[in-house]
């Protein structure tokens, strides 16, 4: 019998972000990974196919991403920690099973290594266009999800472990929003001893603490903010009832306003009411900043260099990186907007997705400037600096 420590070995590695993600997932306790080949995420699938069977874990290439999403859901229903990995085109195909997971409060981790779009776009090159899809992709509304985004290989390893923890705590799908640059960049990775990692892992509570005849699949509907809600597995003897239909507390289909309303409140409030606990970000040079660059993922790397260079020129500019993308950190962005005259949002799309959300959360307290790029290449720091300088000269605030 092999243990996780035999597969995830302590040490210093030089690996791609995709590999760091796979190693982190194994460390997090993931024992089922379903996928369909797609660039730039196949490296995760390939690494899982090597590592998982050593731990009696299942790596399965399904017939399409619809199948991989539902198979991952099924494995979780039967008690495992599971994930599926894909890129934007696969996420589009996932939506059916993603909605089912949201609806049934399935702690599934979905890895999206974003690439340039729309549609097939450029398979091998970067984009950051799935920000809204992660949140609003499935039809029907009435829900929240959690999405987090790493900006380097080491953080990919650490955050994928956190993604699995968050999924268990909030009984909620977690979107892990990488991008092609993060996935394919080879960087230093320090893997701590497995014992140390295991001490920080959160496991799902399988025992609901009531006799089987009293168990209700959604008995927590009237406590919408509750976290760490037990979730027995199929075969544990509790008679689970899970379905895509609006459910009452038993999991039985219901068409009443009362059940629709409390189900929707539960799916929203378990995340929204715990937003302050949930959101993570990183900032620098904010103390004297009159303007701030806001970004995430690979774009944040160019942004930080740009901010440092601008500060060297004497500009009072700060840096703010979102780690949690959803739920959106309205409060933190509003505070930034109160402090700064201008917020520059750097992201790898031209439609201004994060920019729009920052604008909403700013409530008009600051000017929000979208510094976008269509994808294929990430921003260079000079592009970010030029865009900021151009804006400053135009608005004569420099």
Partner 1 sequence: MVTETKIHPLVEEYFRIDRMPHLACPGCGIGMVMKYTLMVIDELGIDPQKFTWVTGVGCSSRLPYAVWKGDCIDATHGRPLAMATGIKLARPELTVMVYTGDGDCLSIGGNHFIHACRRNVPITVVMFNNQIYGMTGGQVAPTTPLGYQTQTSPYGNIEEPFDGAKLAAAAGASYACRWTAFQPKRIATSLKKGLTSNGFSYIEVFSPCPTQFGRYALKLGDPVKLAMWTQQNTVDLKKAETMTSEELRSKIIVGEYIDVEKPSLVDRYAELFEKAKRS
| 245 binding partner 1? (CB under 8 A) | yes
Distance CA 373, CA 179 (A): 14
Residue by residue, DSSP assigns 274-298 as THHHH--EEEES-TT-SEEEEE-HH
Of 192 and 239, nearer to partner 1 (C-beta) is 239
Interface residue with partner 1 among 5, 13, 46, 74 (CB under 8 A) is: 74
Candidate segments 153-161, 229-237, 265-273, 369-377, binder of partner 1 by CB under 8 A: 229-237
Beta-strand pair 109-116/122-126: antiparallel
Q: What is the helix (H) or strand (E) element at residue 14, kind and residue range?
A: strand 11-16
| 62 binding partner 1? (CB under 8 A) | yes
Interface residue with partner 1 among 137, 219, 230, 239 (CB under 8 A) is: 239
Of 11 and 244, nearer to partner 1 (C-beta) is 244
User: Is the N-terminal amide bond of 366 cis, ω within 30° of 0?
Assistant: no
Distance CA 376, CA 122 (A): 7
- Applying CB under 8 A, the site for partner 1 has a residue count of 50
Determine contact, residues 117/127, Cβ cutoff 8 Å: yes
Provide the minimum distance between the beta carbon of 53 and partner 1 in the complex, in angstroms, as a whole number.
3
How many CB atoms lie under 10 A from the CB of residue 220?
Answer: 20
Of 53 and 193, nearer to partner 1 (C-beta) is 53
| 207 binding partner 1? (CB under 8 A) | no
Interface residue with partner 1 among 24, 29, 40, 67 (CB under 8 A) is: 67
Candidate segments 57-65, 116-124, 147-155, 340-348, binder of partner 1 by CB under 8 A: 57-65
Distance CA 21, CA 28 (A): 10
Distance CA 397, CA 100 (A): 50
Interface residue with partner 1 among 122, 123, 226, 242 (CB under 8 A) is: 242
| 77 binding partner 1? (CB under 8 A) | yes
Q: At what angle do helices 17-28 and 42-51 cross, to 10 degrees?
A: 40
Candidate segments 39-47, 56-64, 116-124, 366-374, binder of partner 1 by CB under 8 A: 56-64
Phi and psi for 322 in degrees, rounded to 5?
A: -80, 130
Burial of 284 (0-12, 13-18, 19+ CB in 10 A): middle
Provide the minimum distance between the beta carbon of 382 and partner 1 in the complex, in angstroms, as a whole number.
47
Distance CA 196, CA 192 (A): 7
Provide the minimum distance between the beta carbon of 301 and partner 1 in the complex, in angstroms, as a whole number.
36
| 4 binding partner 1? (CB under 8 A) | no
Determine contact, residues 144/268, Cβ cutoff 8 Å: yes
Q: Which residue has the tokens 């068409």?
A: 255
Candidate segments 13-21, 244-252, 313-321, 356-364, binder of partner 1 by CB under 8 A: 244-252
Interface residue with partner 1 among 39, 42, 73, 152 (CB under 8 A) is: 73
Provide the minimum distance between the beta carbon of 113 and partner 1 in the complex, in angstroms, as a whole number.
22
Provide the minimum distance between the beta carbon of 233 and partner 1 in the complex, in angstroms, as a whole number.
7
Provide the minimum distance between the beta carbon of 69 and partner 1 in the complex, in angstroms, as a whole number.
8
Distance CA 99, CA 384 (A): 37
Q: Which of 100, 246, 254, 83 is nearest to 166 (CA)?
A: 83
| 96 binding partner 1? (CB under 8 A) | yes
| 251 binding partner 1? (CB under 8 A) | yes
- Residue 53 DSSP label: G
Provide the minimum distance between the beta carbon of 114 and partner 1 in the complex, in angstroms, as a whole number.
24
The C-alpha angle with vertex 291 and arms to 288 and 295, in degrees rounded to 5, equals 115
Candidate segments 78-86, 169-177, 223-231, 284-292, binder of partner 1 by CB under 8 A: 78-86
Residues that bind partner 1 (CB under 8 A): 2, 32, 34, 50, 53-54, 56, 58, 60, 62-64, 66-80, 82, 96-97, 99-100, 212, 233-245, 250-253
């Amino acid at each position: 019998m092999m243990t996780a420590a035999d597969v995830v070995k302590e040490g210093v590695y030089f690996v791609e972000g995709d590999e760091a993600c796979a190693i982190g997932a194994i460390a997090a306790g993931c024992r089922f990974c379903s996928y369909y080949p797609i660039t730039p995420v196949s490296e995760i699938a390939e690494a899982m196919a090597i590592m998982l069977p050593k731990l009696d874990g299942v790596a399965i290439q399904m017939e399409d991403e619809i199948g991989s999403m539902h198979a991952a859901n099924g494995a979780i229903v039967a008690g495992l920690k599971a994930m599926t990995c894909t890129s934007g085109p696969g996420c589009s195909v996932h939506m059916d099973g993603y909605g089912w997971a949201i609806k049934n409060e399935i702690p599934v981790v979905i890895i999206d290594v974003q690439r340039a779009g729309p549609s097939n776009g450029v398979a091998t090159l970067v984009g950051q266009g799935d920000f809204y899809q992660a949140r609003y992709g499935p039809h029907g509304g009435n829900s929240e999800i959690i999405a987090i985004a790493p900006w380097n290989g080491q953080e990919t390893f650490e955050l994928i472990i956190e993604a699995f923890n968050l999924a268990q705590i909030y009984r909620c799908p977690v979107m892990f929003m990488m991008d092609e640059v993060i996935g394919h960049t080879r960087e230093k990775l320090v893997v701590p001893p497995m014992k140390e990692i295991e001490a920080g892992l959160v496991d799902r509570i399988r025992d609901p603490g009531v006799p089987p005849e009293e168990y209700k699949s959604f008995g927590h509907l009237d406590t919408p903010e509750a976290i760490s809600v037990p979730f027995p597995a199929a075969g544990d003897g509790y008679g689970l009832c899970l379905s895509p239909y609006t459910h009452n507390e038993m999991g039985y289909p219901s068409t009443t306003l009362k059940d629709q309303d409390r189900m929707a409140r539960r799916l929203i409030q378990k995340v929204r009411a715990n937003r302050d606990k949930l959101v993570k970000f990183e900032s620098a040079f904010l103390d004297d900043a009159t303007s701030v660059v806001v970004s995430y993922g690979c774009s944040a790397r160019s942004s930080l260099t740009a901010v440092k260079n601008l500060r060297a020129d004497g500009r009072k500019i700060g840096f703010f990186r979102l780690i949690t993308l959803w739920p959106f950190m309205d409060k933190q962005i509003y505070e930034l907007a109160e402090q700064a005259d201008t917020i520059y949002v750097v992201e790898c799309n031209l439609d201004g997705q994060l920019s729009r959300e920052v604008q909403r959360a700013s409530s008009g307290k600051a000017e929000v400037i979208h510094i976008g790029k269509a994808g294929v290449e990430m921003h260079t720091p000079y592009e970010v600096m030029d865009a900021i300088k151009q804006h400053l000269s135009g608005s004569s605030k420099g």
